[in-house]
Structure 1
Amino acid sequence: MQLAEFFSSQPARLWLLAKQLGIEYAVGGLPWEEKQEKPWDLMPLIRMKQRFADSGLTLNVIESMPPSNEIKLGTAGRDAEIEVFQQFITNMGAAGIPVLCYNFMAQFNWFRTSTTTRTRGGALVSSYDHSLMKDAPLTEAGLISEDQLWENLQYFMERIVPVAEKAKVKLALHPDDPPITPIRGISRILTSAAALQQAIDLVPSAYNGITLCQGTLATAGEHIPSVIRHFARQDKMFFVHFRDVKGTPEKFEETFHDDGQTDMLEAMQTYYEVGFNGPARPDHVPTMEGEDNANPGYELLGRLYGIGYIRGLMEAAAAARLSNEAKTSVNISG
């Protein structure tokens, strides 16, 4: 597993701290600070990749995308947005950035009703309570059905997957978070492992796969080791968000990595069992003492805790795998 972290596109304190923690791989957003060019143009991507390289980090995932709401809603400007997206994928390939984490959540991205829920020791986490949304008005997009979204996703994939194949960029589709539908009249379609499978089957390709977001799929009630095995068998697991939750789609909260409902050691052992060697990062961490919660889910101390916890699990899983291989070898030779 390539333990990674999400970084700003310009050098910051976390870049140095992550290197001190042994991180070698970077997940980046788009370089929006490039004022003279579009952030998805070739040279901003190349310069961002080189900034990471100059700091000893390999940029292997972009977790961001050009404007795409018209693509998702199927409105008049979608073809223009798709054209930009195609150029973005082409430029990623030319820059040697191999994985794009993207989503198909229309109108709004990941969504929470609170970013100040108290968890262990008074740390702050985000949470979602669907009952608080029952009287929420529709967005300006009105009612968007699941059928519309499936049609729009297929239209998009038919035009993007061939470009990704040519550019050799893996498309890692993220599930909808929260995995519940609808929210404010906007349906959500990628709410389970089965739905993710249905999505990537729309346009079969070695470059059409998923981001396995443990937190979202655990919220949906999935057994994470089974999901890992399912997508690993197909070589469709391109990127991992290693996080956890407590609760159900109707009501859940984020947790420390060691305090949720998933057996995280079993999950890590499963990644090693299937031979997953792609990028994975901690995600949606608690805000801890002394932090101002200005960036909920992405403050510094929780990230450092998550990295250390994941690294410990990686060592334990690697040791267990070597032990099992040694026992198997002894049994065969005996």
Structure 2
Amino acid sequence: MQLAEFLPSRPTRLWHLAKQMGVDYAVGPLPWEEKERKPWDFMSLLHMKMRFEDFGFKLAVIESAPPTNKIKLGLPGRDEEIESMQQLIESMGAAGIPVLCYNFMAQFNWFRTSTTTATRGGALVSSYDHSLMQNAPLTEAGTVSEERLWENLHYYLERIVPAAEKAKVRLALHPDDPPVSPIRGVSRILRSAEALQRAIDLVPSEYSGITLCQGTLATAGEHIPSVIRRFAAQNKLFFVHFRDVRGTAEKFAETFHDDGKTDMYEAMKTYVEVGYQGLCRPDHVPTMEGEDNANPGYETLGRLFGVGYIKGLMEAACAERHPHGSVANAIHAKG
């Protein structure tokens, strides 16, 4: 497993901290600050990739995309959005960036009813309470059915999977967060491991797989080690978001990595068992003392805790799997 962090497209304090923690892999956004070119243009991505490499990171995942809401809703203009996605995939392939993490959440991305829920020691986390959404007005999209979304996802995959095959870029589909439907009239279809399986089976390809977001799937009630084994056995496990929660899809709160309902050591041992060699990053960390919570889920101090915790789990799981070799050699063998 390759430990990574989600980093801005240009050097920041977080870049330095990540290197100091021993992180060698980067998950990047699109370089939206580009003025002369589209962020998904080849040269935009190449320049960003070289910034990472010159700093000592390998950029291996893009977790961002051009606008895709017309694609998801099946609106006029979706073919132009699909063309932009095809250009992104082509550019990634040419630049040697192997994985694209994408989602099919229409109208809004990951969604919470609170970003100021107190957890251990007064740290702040995001949470979701579906009862608070019962009287919420519809969005401008109105009522969006699950059938409509499945049809639109199929249309989309028929057009981007061939582009991914040609560019040799792996498409890592993220589940819907939260895994509950509908929200403000907009259905959510990727709410379980079974739904993710159905999605990647729509247009079968070795380049179409999943992002295993542990927090989302744990919220949905999935047994994380079983999900790891299921998709790893098909070579469909392309990227991992390592985080945890307490609660159910209807009402949950995010947690510190060591304070949720998932047996995180069992999960890590399972990744080692199946020989997963892709990227894993901490995700949705608590906001800790001294931070202003301006970027809920992505402040700095919780990331430091998350990276350290994951590194410890990796070392322990690899050492258990390879008891007669050094921990360093065991990790190297898997990463």
Task: Give the TM-score category using the shorter length.
Answer: over 0.9
Report the counterpart of residue 123 of structure 1 in structure 2. Answer: 123
Report the counterpart of residue 257 of structure 2 in structure 1. Answer: 257
Instruction: Give the drift of 1:190.
Output: 0.1
Instruction: Give the drift of 1:9.
Output: 0.1
SS at match of 1:191: coil
Q: Distance in 2 between matches of 1:265 and 1:295?
A: 28
How do 1:113-262 residues align onto structure 2 when only pairs under 5 Å count?
Answer: 113-262=113-262
SS at match of 1:33: coil
Instruction: Give the drift of 1:323.
Output: 2.6
Structure 1 segments, 4+ long, off by >2 Å, are none
The letter for the 2-side match of 1:252 is F
Report the counterpart of residue 77 of structure 1 in structure 2. Answer: 77
Q: Deviations over 1:189-229 (max 9, x none)?
A: 00000000000000000000000000000000000000000
Q: Distance in 1 between matches of 2:322 and 2:171?
A: 32
The letter for the 1-side match of 2:98 is P
Report the counterpart of residue 304 of structure 1 in structure 2. Answer: 304
Q: Distance in 2 between matches of 1:187 and 1:294?
A: 29
SS at match of 2:323: helix
Q: Distance in 2 between matches of 1:25 and 1:87?
A: 24
Q: Distance in 2 between matches of 1:72 and 1:324?
A: 51
SS at match of 1:200: helix
Report the counterpart of residue 86 of structure 2 in structure 1. Answer: 86
Q: Distance in 2 between matches of 1:318 and 1:95?
A: 32
The letter for the 2-side match of 1:93 is G
SS at match of 1:66: coil
Report the counterpart of residue 330 of structure 1 in structure 2. Answer: none
Q: Distance in 1 between matches of 2:134 and 2:253?
A: 19
The letter for the 2-side match of 1:51 is R
The letter for the 2-side match of 1:92 is M
The letter for the 2-side match of 1:73 is L
Q: Distance in 2 between matches of 1:83 and 1:319?
A: 46
Q: Distance in 2 between matches of 1:299 and 1:169?
A: 30
The letter for the 1-side match of 2:42 is L
- Amino-acid identity (%): 76
Query: Is it true that 1:35 corresponds to 2:35 in the alignment?
Result: yes
The letter for the 2-side match of 1:67 is P
Work out the number of aligned pairs and report it. Answer: 326
TM-score, structure 1 normalization: 0.97
The letter for the 2-side match of 1:188 is R
Q: Distance in 2 between matches of 1:37 and 1:247?
A: 44
Report the counterpart of residue 331 of structure 1 in structure 2. Answer: none
The letter for the 1-side match of 2:135 is D
Q: Distance in 2 between matches of 1:84 and 1:286?
A: 34
Query: Is it true that 1:3 corresponds to 2:3 in the alignment?
Result: yes
Report the counterpart of residue 106 of structure 2 in structure 1. Answer: 106
Instruction: Give the drift of 1:324.
Output: 8.8
Instruction: Give the drift of 1:53.
Output: 0.2
Instruction: Give the drift of 1:84.
Output: 1.0
Q: Deviations over 1:141-193 (max 9, x none)?
A: 00000000000000000000000000000000000000000000000000000
User: Given the superposition, is the C-alpha separation of residues 249 and 324 from structure 1 closer, same or farther in structure 2, using an over 3 Å criterion?
Assistant: farther
SS at match of 1:101: strand
User: Given the superposition, is the C-alpha separation of residues 324 and 218 from structure 1 closer, same or farther in structure 2, using an over 3 Å criterion?
Assistant: farther
Q: Distance in 2 between matches of 1:285 and 1:264?
A: 15
Report the counterpart of residue 318 of structure 1 in structure 2. Answer: 318
The letter for the 2-side match of 1:202 is L
Q: Distance in 1 between matches of 2:276 and 2:324?
A: 17
SS at match of 1:323: coil
The letter for the 2-side match of 1:108 is F
Q: Distance in 2 between matches of 1:294 and 1:278?
A: 30
Q: Deviations over 1:47-98 (max 9, x none)?
A: 0000000000000000001000000000111011111111111011001000
Report the counterpart of residue 65 of structure 1 in structure 2. Answer: 65
SS at match of 2:312: helix
